[in-house]
Structure 1
Amino acid sequence: MSNAKSGPLSRAVAVSFATLLAAPVLAQEVASPPEALEEIVVTGTNIRGAAPIGNPIQTLGAEQIAESGKATVAELLRDLPVNFAGGVAQADNNRGGQDTSSAGSNLTGGSGVNLRGLGALSTLVLVDGRRVATSGQFGDFVDVANIPAAAIERIEILQDGASAVYGSDAVGGVVNFILKRNLEGLQTMARIGTFTEGGGDEFQASAVWGHGWDSGRVVLGYEFNDRARVSASDRDLNGNLSSRGGVNWPIYTTHVGSAANIFAGTTAAFNGNVAYTVPQGPGTGLTVGQLTPATGGFGNSSDPWDGWDILPEMQRHSLFLNFDQDITDRISTHGGVRYTRRDGNYHTGYVDIYGAVPTTNPNYIAGTTNAFSVLVDDVLTQRDVQVDSYGADLGVKFDIGGDWQLDVTGSYSREIQNRKSQLERDANIDDFVAGAGGGIVAAPNSVTCSLMGLNSSNIGSIAAPTAAQSYCAGLNYETFNPYSTEPLSAQVLSQLIGYEDLEFDSWVRQGTVKVDGTVMDLPGGQLKLAVGLDYRKEYIDGQLDFNYRSIDPVHMPYGATEREVKSAYAEFAVPLVGDRNSLPGLRALDLSLAVRHEDSQGLGDFTSTDPKFGLRYKPIDSLTVRASYGTSFHAPPMRFAYNGAQPVPGGNAIFYANSFYTAPCNTTLVELIQPAVPNASGACPFVGMIVSGGAGPTLKPEEADTWTAGLEFLPESVPGLMLSANYFNMQIDNRLVRITSGQLGGILANYFATGTSPYINNLVFNPDDALVQSLFDDPRFIGLQGPGVTRTPNQIAAIIYATQTNLASLKMDGVDLGARYGFDTGLGNFEVFANGTLLLSYELQASPGSRYEDKLGKYESTGNPVKFKSKQGLSFHRGPFAAIATVNYTDSYECVSGCYVPNAAGAPVLNTTPIKIDDWITLDLQFNYTFEGTGGLLSGAGIGLSVLNATNEEPPFIDTGRVVTGNAPESYDAANAIISGRAVALTLTKSF
């Protein structure tokens, strides 16, 4: 791809609006609850009919959702300025590490919300005010991709800590999806869309029916969404980034091709020194003289993105039902059910095999190492994902005198997630054989046995076969010849490629009893109170069926974890000054106080008491000043506390690797693999052991202090103008961090450069043999990962504890600013709007006692926020026609360290000076027409055309060399941009 800059049209529009209106919050901000048929509870308070005091609630109504041009809720929320760092695991980033992708702990390619850039853990997601079951292997986010857009009446967003109202998780804010309950008739929609650069054809349809009667109402709906895959080849995405100023990575890190390489050393590695390449053909009876000497140690290579999807094929069905019914004049009931089934399929490239051909294989080549690599391109591997999402709630309301009301509500939510992947059969954690020095050791894996060339017919030719040889011979495998370029048999392919079938089940039950009403009349209005009790039980477990780490199929359960939480809360709304006692300069003054005590028992007990104070002051009718202070927290996800055995490295596991971890070749801080042979980047490998997964029940909740101050100005002299500003400041202590796969390279590089690290307590170099032996004996130990020979405890040079730790503290502040101005020209109604979030600081203290480091606008694989994100644009309405142009802006930032540049010879070297990552500006267009006053079939019909990223802006280029699955580098930062390109969609609506 070319390194295209932002187009002149989108840049000019963005700069114009940014200059005119500064930077901002959602254009749909409201200071009072939306109109409804009855008093409702707005997000951020437990008191009916009141808006939260001290905080604005930002609302996206059904009309705004439809006008966004987005097909799904996940796509809509991703573009919100306050949702920094893209949320969790967007579907176009399925190759990332275990914390950010469907290939890791996010099993089904779900999408989360990340308010303030604090991570999905710190954003509480509700549906009709009720909690939703968590998603992912760690249960660390709520998957909003399972919420149908057709069911949503509005989305309410509170950008402030709210544990005083909701308890755990409401640190960065709350996103509450309010479902439709007031609808008369039938609303239908059909949408077809596609990406103009190929792939991703999409069809969506919905039908929602509602009916009301004197004592009740009901809404019933269905939504279907089907999207085709987008492959890397559809976007010219490949590993050679040299045309964009990056590195030609396949030359250095993909030493594997359809024809085999033979390495100079005894160990095969993706970046090893290739001695020979094998010629095309059957690969039998070869001699060294028939091999081709490799030039520069590179050998055969391949495109690591070949056969990969950047967007999967995905299909979703959603059903929902909501109802309200009066039982008597003083008793009513309300409830609803919803169900979503989502199925997806990813193409995940080809299996590359690294190994050594033993002398027992009839294709062994005398006179060379026979350490080889080869790409098995006979089969394009795939990953199938599936999720069943359930939700139900039922409540009864009792009018108990005056305006007092008792509300008793129970809810249940469940997510059943499944992922089935095709993977190389490169380990054996289930079978054991006698070791050479006594005892037992892991048996050879299926690939090794396929290479051995032994069976029950020829094992007798070996006078004293080893236990491993006898084990493999008993399998009667067909011999694998890696030197052949001819198609492999189905039998050999089944020996090389296995499966992993992983399922996780999580649910939450919640019951709430709440009483609220007016305590007394004050001169400024009614003093209101809400008190309540809340109980919930959360649960998550899983199971795994696999053969890619065994010979025979294995079933292993994941330990179940559960948590029981009991809460009590109270909230006052105190109007000190109102219409009846207002004074000049004091038109209104309201105070609020909320407090909640939460006690949890289960794996990782905790208690927390959190207050919140709010103030709303109006010196004049057109100006509202707000302020709030409160504490909030979120408990560690239950899987973070669970440290039982899990049989895959993406969960709780202990493993070691020969080629993944490197250090300077002259270091004395760690013992290198000898002989110390530099790779293409000039670094030398050491044997590193990873202890990953949960940290045990010692983890503590994260704790936050937040205060805000803001204003909203609607000048009477300029009708249609609204200006708003909201300053926020927070500090979070006991922040949960872990060493992720994407961070590890930078952490190690910093340690070897300085001799220390903020994560020093998680790093053990040249460990004691007894400590390593204890990890070998741990039930979580799954042995060698990747190429190379097996190791003994005394050969392990480092232990890296990649577990969750209450290590960090975070300080941040910023401003939400917003503006909109609507005016009528006589030709039609125009509205100019702008909204966004400007961060002033984002500082991380990596460990207690260390200094705070500025992370704002600094690229890291874990996703630090950029300084500024905004949406601005212009809408036009005239009769049945409407047009909206929206510019989305993501500020530029920089990679201070951890990115790669090519040296004079083209080899990758880490940057020594900061590299700028350009801003990203896209233009969205939406055109709608309703057939008003038309009879017949067109009555109640409408048509809409949306063009997203109309100027087809490419994401800003960045070369981090960041790879986890395979060795495919990402050429953009998926946390702040998407690669899908221009999308066009046509929508037809019809009401009956």
Structure 2
Amino acid sequence: MAVSYKRLQRSRLSTALFAAVLMPIAGAAFAQDSTAEGNESATELDKVTVTGSLIPQTQLENFTPVTVISAEDIQMRGFTSVSDVLQQSTYQTGGFQGGQTSASFTQGAEAAGMFGLDPGYTKYLINGRPMSNYPALYNGSDTFNNVSGIPVDLVERIEILPGGQSSLYGSDAIAGVVNVILKKQTDGLTVNLRGGWYGEGGGDTFRMSVSDGFTSTDGRFNLIAGLQYEDRDPIWGHQRDLTKQYNTDGYSAPVASRDYVIINGSARNTYLFLDPNNCENVTGQFGGTEGLQTRPGFGQYCGSFMSPGYRTIKNGKEATQVYAHATYDVNDNIQLYGDLLTNNEDVEYATGSSYTWWGTSAKYGYYYDPDQRALLNLQRAFSPEDIGGLGYRDIMNTDKNRSYQVTLGGSGRFGTNWDWDVGFTRTQYKLTERNWVRFADAIDDYFVANVLGPQLGTHRGVYPIFRPNYEAFYQPMSPADFASFTGFVNTESETVDNTLRAQLTNASLFSLPGGDAGLAVVVEGGSSSWDYTPDARMLQDPDTLESEIWGQTSVSGSGDRDRYAVTGELRLPLWEPLTVTVAGRYDAFKVAGSTIDKPTYSLGVEYRPVDSFLLRGKYGTAFRAPTLSDVFQGMSGYYTSSTDYYRCSLEDPSFTPGNTDDCTYDNQQYFGQQSGNPDLQPIEADVWNLGFVWAPMNNLSLSVDYFSWDIRDEVDQLSNDQLLLAEYFCRTGQTNTASTGCETALAWVKRGANNEIESVYTPKVNVSQQKLEAVTASLNYLLDVGKWGSLAFAGNYTNNIKHTVTPLPGAEEIDLLRDPYYMWVYDAYAKTRADASVGWNIGKWTTTAYANRIGKTPNYLAYSSQSWDYVNSAGAKAGWWSPYTTYNLSLNYEATENVRLSLLVNNVLNKMPDYQAANYPGTSTTPYNNYLYNPYGRSMYLEMRYNFGK
């Protein structure tokens, strides 16, 4: 539930914690006032509703920790969006996919999670009501929330509630709850203008917001409305030294992109070079960087070192959000209310040249050239010059997001102490993904007509025979030719959710020695639906496993479900220092002809031996119901690549999985398949936390909390790499140390006549278990320095002290915090994360310095070798990336009573990801961990806030 800040009990703990909430705008006057009044006793206590409890109470903190990030925090610490706030939170210890992860399933979305758990394990609320789910699936399989469409300028505060919260909030609240509370009041017409840019280039932004309020003459009707508009340019890989080219300082020789290459399958996939002009005809491509290249041990080809720069590493965006909140007092006991939030957002991105190519392997596997007496494959990338016009800017993908959330309801009081609230919420999210594609028949026909020539039969009854015109292969093409086999297709998807919710609350049900007992009861019901409909040409043929789009297939799926739930919470102040809170909830989902139900409960304890100290703890259960995509996702396919461990062993009998650099099959492309499962059961979890809050002074507070999760029956898809590793162990008769049984591995990996991988199938199953333990700490301190104003200090820290995964029942437990391989596979964990800020307020000036630190993470060699002790032949060592700290600085000046001017500099020191180029091979295009770090560099913003109402 949202926090309603009224008058708090004047204990030292409450004063210190409330001061912490107001720290960014707290001045000397506030510090002096709190010191003078901090020891007074309140005779009448106004109760507040605290996130994590349904019952109004007289304490800001209860048995569950709550982190509050105010609007002033957001502005003064330099956060540029709601996703920026959450992704920089110390709770975000895991990596995430987004604008840097080219060709991921949700490259256009902005995700965040908590404690290294998947984003879908966090419940997201807006004004206490669940957000609409994003229609596309995270990592191609998981439902999550895209937080990109929340207007940051209209946020009042963000409240983060860590730990399992299903006993109050139901499904999805395993990692925690994030409640984004938008403004409910305004001082009059306010206009905010912000412009920003990056010192390294790209990413220019402009943001404008307007908000105003209206109150009727009789005071019964109140309205606040706001609009935010934002326009942001993308950042391209070529605008950063770290991403503009292949790794030229790696432990192996740098390798340019294989833009024109003939792969000889009859000679261990070495290269044939058959260009009589030695690449002279294509040297103008990729900005004049194309040329004759040699890869030691493989051969010659035409390529460029600069082609990785033709991808975006930060999405472009144009977005408009509209928000309104209204109340109408029918009488002294009844109030009607309504909320509306709409989002109209277009996001654009380019996946780059690595995903913009053609080859014979997709249709033929290999073809046979009788003149060369070899099985061959052609591979040809497309350059900006082939595309014409603005090059890759002309074939960018665009995600069109259209969503709204509307709530209508009423609240009031009857009797002496009974409060009621009845509201209906509807959310709808429509997504149109406009993707650039190659049409399969058209592109194959083009290269048959211009390069391959007519088919001359088959070789060994399997391989088609061609006598290609190789001189024509090593040629640029006209933009008209490129346009003849390319274009755009749309995928339409939608989620809809309807919820009717009624709450009955009595904060003074009966008296106990410690105060009044409280009771809250909630009944809710609703329906939800999901539909994902790609262009029909994107769907794979069940026989050929191919689609009409070259190199791509997509997923389709749709379904709906009804649900209802009953929640009860009872707060019992057994005696003055001790309060016990019991909560229970029953959820039922009717889906696919059956009912899935789950009860959850929690028991919370607060013990206050003195006013300045709170000892707290909670035990409970949590769950996540199978999502609609888990149940209804159809058979989907995708092309990916992995190490083919089995073929590596056939090529070299001395092969070991930790040494794949010299294997021909270290990056083999194949077709992957996945699907939903209507027989899935809920994910279950036992969760508990224990901690304390201590306020030895009115202006100082310290909190420390320990959290524990035991998550069972997780819906998971086996890692393709682990499946192939298990298959290798099983086929070679070795002890299977991977996470997959032999029966499963051999059934789900399909191979062709030459042992090449044809497909890998990974359906959704209830198989996995996770155990997680974490410690969090928070410190807040206000210091009055007299005529020099006031200083506000704040810090947060998270340490994941244990995180293990058991992928299959009976499999070996995987340590995600100490095994370097799995620290990457499971979205790149950092064991620790911390932030700190200091704000100085003096007169009309407020300055805030903010630091954010990501703890050490394994480097690439530790991951690829699966060993901390590995040293390769070039002397590069497995080990750690150093801790990564960035600094933001803001300067705010109250020029007049109505005008605030701000200068904000993020990443002041222009910190880039830890440069360990020697730890990556020369084939790498991203020699850093792009799940946790970014190469954007320093950014600067100028902002003016004008309030017409003061």
Shift of 1:341: 0.9
Counterpart of 1:104? 104
Shift of 1:679: 9.1
**1:423 match:** 437
Matched residue, 2:72: 63
2:590 match:
601
Q: 1:68 touches 1:76 (CA, 8 Å); kept in 2?
A: no
1:684 to 1:241, Cα distance in 2 relative to 1, 3 A: closer
Separation in 1, partners of 2:68, 2:246: 42
In structure 2, the partner of 1:612 is: 602
Counterpart of 1:694? Answer: 675
* Matches for 1:427-466 after TM superposition, within 5 Å: 445-453=441-449
The match for 1:853 among 795, 800, 814 is 814
- CA separation in 1, counterparts of 2:834 and 2:413? 45
Residue of 783, 791, 795 corresponding to 1:834: 795
Match of 1:984 in 2: 940
Residue of structure 1 in register with 2:263 after alignment: 263
The aligned residue for residue 543 of structure 2 is: none
Contact kept, 8 Å, 2:127 with 2:181, in 1: the verdict is yes
How many Å apart are 1:804 and its aligned residue?
A: 2.5
Rounded to whole Å, the distance in 2 between the matches of 1:751 and 1:463 is: 38
2:768 pairs with 1:808: yes
CA pair 877-281 structure 1, distance change in 2 beyond 3 A:
closer
Q: Distance in 2 between matches of 1:382 and 1:961?
A: 32
Instruction: Quickly say closer, same or farther: Cα 1:59–1:295, change in 2 above 3 A.
Output: closer
Return 5+ residue gaps in structure 2 as ranges: 1-16, 24-37, 39-44, 283-291, 539-545, 866-870
**Amino acid of the residue matched to residue 131 of structure 2?**
V
1: CA distance, partners of 2:620 / 2:651: 46
Name the SS of the counterpart of 2:483 in structure 1: helix
Number of the residue aligned with 2:380: 374
CA contact 1:945–1:985 (8 Å) conserved in 2: yes
Q: Does 1:511 align with 2:500?
A: yes
**Are residue 569 (structure 1) and residue 533 (structure 2) matched?**
no
> What is the rounded CA distance, in whole Å, between the counterparts of 1:944 and 1:743 in structure 2?
51
Structure-2 separation of matches of 1:798 and 1:911: 36
SS of 1:667's partner is helix
> Distance in 1 between the 2:562 and 2:939 partners?
45
Letter in 2 for 1:736: V
Task: Output aligned runs, 1:45-60, within 5 Å.
Answer: 45-49=53-57, 53-60=62-69
Partner of 1:395: 409
For residues 953 and 156 of structure 1, what CA distance do their matches in structure 2 show?
29
CA contact (8 A) 1:150 1:221 kept: no
Counterpart in 2 of 1:80? 89
Q: 1:105: Cα distance to partner?
A: 2.7
Question: Which protein is richer in helix relative to its size?
Answer: 2
CA gap of 1:665–1:881, structure 2 versus 1, over 3 A, is same
Equivalent position SS for 1:133? coil
Query: Residue 29 of structure 1 contacts residue 56 of structure 1 at CA under 8 Å; is this kept in 2?
Result: no
Q: CA contact under 8 A between 1:631 and 1:705: conserved in structure 2?
A: yes
* Structure 2 SS opposite 1:273: strand
Which of 934, 953, 956 pairs up with 2:911? Answer: 953
Q: Matched residue of 1:452: which SS?
A: helix
Quote the offset at 1:29 in angstroms.
10
Distance 1:545 1:911, change over 3 A: farther
Contact 2:334 2:410 in 1 (8 A): yes
Among 213, 223, 232, the residue aligned to 2:228: 223
Task: State whether residues 555 and 633 of structure 2, in contact with CA within 8 Å, keep that contact through their aligned partners in structure 1.
Answer: no
Which stretches in structure 1 are left out of the alignment for 5+ residues? 1-23, 96-102, 284-290, 427-444, 473-478, 579-587, 673-677, 773-790, 902-906
Distance 1:823 1:565 in 2: 51
Q: CA deviation at 1:559?
A: 3.0
In the TM superposition, 1:724-873 aligns within 5 A as 724-740=703-719, 755-761=735-741, 764=744, 800-826=760-786, 827-856=788-817, 858=820, 859-873=823-837
In structure 2, C-alpha distance between the alignment counterparts of 1:715 and 1:293, rounded to whole Å: 69
Structure-1 separation of matches of 2:350 and 2:649? 41
TM-score normalised per structure 2? 0.81
C-alpha distance in 2, partners of 1:976/1:65? 21
Distance in 1 separating the partners of 2:526 and 2:156: 26
**Matched-pair contact (CA < 8 Å) for 1:622–1:713:** yes
Over the aligned positions, Cα root-mean-square deviation in angstroms equals 4.3
- Partner of residue 134, structure 2: 135
SS in structure 2 of the partner of residue 417 of structure 1: strand
SS in 2 for 1:973: coil
How far does residue 301 in structure 1 lie from its aligned partner after superposition? Answer: 2.5
Q: Is the 8 A contact 2:557 2:629 kept in 1?
A: no
SS at 1:641 equivalent: helix
Residue identity opposite 1:58 in structure 2:
T
Instruction: Give the alignment partner of residue 969 of structure 1, picking from 912, 920, 925.
Output: 925
Residue 44 in 1 paired to residue 43 in 2?
Answer: no
Residue number among 522, 539, 542 corresponding to 2:529 in the alignment: 539
Corresponding residue for residue 850 of structure 2: 886
**1:729 shift after superposition:** 1.6
Distance 1:707 1:855 in 2: 21
Q: Is the 8 A contact 1:590 1:615 kept in 2?
A: yes
Instruction: Say how many residue pairs are matched.
Output: 852
Q: Would you say the 8 A contact 1:516–1:531 is kept in 2?
A: yes
The whole-number CA distance in structure 2 between the counterparts of 1:961 and 1:450 is 41
Structure 1 residues 626 and 766: CA distance shift in structure 2, 3 A: closer
Partner of 1:523 in structure 2?
A: 513
Contact 1:231 1:307 in 2 (8 A): yes
Q: Is the Cα–Cα contact under 8 Å of residues 688 and 799 in structure 1 kept in the other structure?
A: no
Kindly indicate whether the alpha-carbon contact (under 8 Å) linking 2:792 and 2:840 is maintained by their aligned counterparts in 1: yes
Which residue matches 1:302? 304
How far residue 661 of structure 1 moved from its aligned partner, in angstroms, is 4.4
Task: Find the residue that maps to 2:510 and give its secondary structure.
Answer: strand
Structure 1 position 412 matched with structure 2 position 418: no
Change (3 A) 1:596 1:495: same
Deviations 1:661-716 (A, max 9, x none): 422657379999xxxxx996324479986553334112222211111111111114
State the shift of 1:468 in Å. Answer: 14
Q: Are 2:166 and 1:163 aligned?
A: yes
Q: Is the 8 A contact 1:591 1:613 kept in 2?
A: yes
Matched, 1:154 2:157: yes
In the aligned structure 2, how far is the partner of 1:383 from the partner of 1:358?
25
The amino acid across from 1:327 in the alignment is V
Decide which moves more: 375-384 or 510-519.
Answer: 375-384
Amino acid in structure 2 at the alignment position of 1:395? G
| Alpha-carbon distance, 1:157 to partner | 1.0
Distance 1:47 1:485, change over 3 A: same
Residues 294 and 989 of structure 1: CA distance in aligned 2, closer, same or farther (over 3 Å): closer
Distance 1:463 1:683 in 2: 29
Q: For the structure 1 residues 601 and 293, does the alpha-carbon distance in structure 2 shift closer, same or farther, using more than 3 Å as the test? A: closer
Preserved contact between residue 228 and residue 322 of structure 2 (Cα < 8 Å): yes
Tell me if structure 1 keeps the 8 A contact 2:77–2:849: no
Query: CA contact under 8 A between 2:397 and 2:436: conserved in structure 1?
Result: yes
Residue type of the alignment partner of 1:401: G
* Alignment partner, residue 11 of structure 2: none
Question: CA shift at 1:909, angstroms?
Answer: 8.2
Distance in 1, matches of 2:923 and 2:428, equals 36
Question: What TM-score comes out, normalization by structure 1 length?
Answer: 0.77
Q: What amino acid is aligned across from residue 231 of structure 1 in structure 2?
A: W
Query: In the aligned structure 1, how far is the partner of 2:721 from the partner of 2:908?
Result: 32
How far 1:241 sits from its partner (Å)? 5.9
Residue deviations 1:875-895 (CA, integer Å, cap 9, x gap): 111111111111111111225
1:639 maps to what in 2? 629
Cα deviation per residue 1:595-653 (whole Å; 9 max; x = unaligned)? 0001111147421111111111111111111111111011232212225344xx25xxx
Equivalent residue number for residue 502 of structure 1: 491
Distance in structure 2 (CA, Å) of the matches to 1:601 and 1:463 = 56
Identity %: 21
CA contact (8 A) 2:699 2:783 kept: yes
Q: CA deviation at 1:522?
A: 2.2
Q: Give the match's secondary structure for 1:519.
A: coil
Q: Does the Cα contact within 8 Å between 1:131 and 1:508 map onto a contact in 2?
A: no
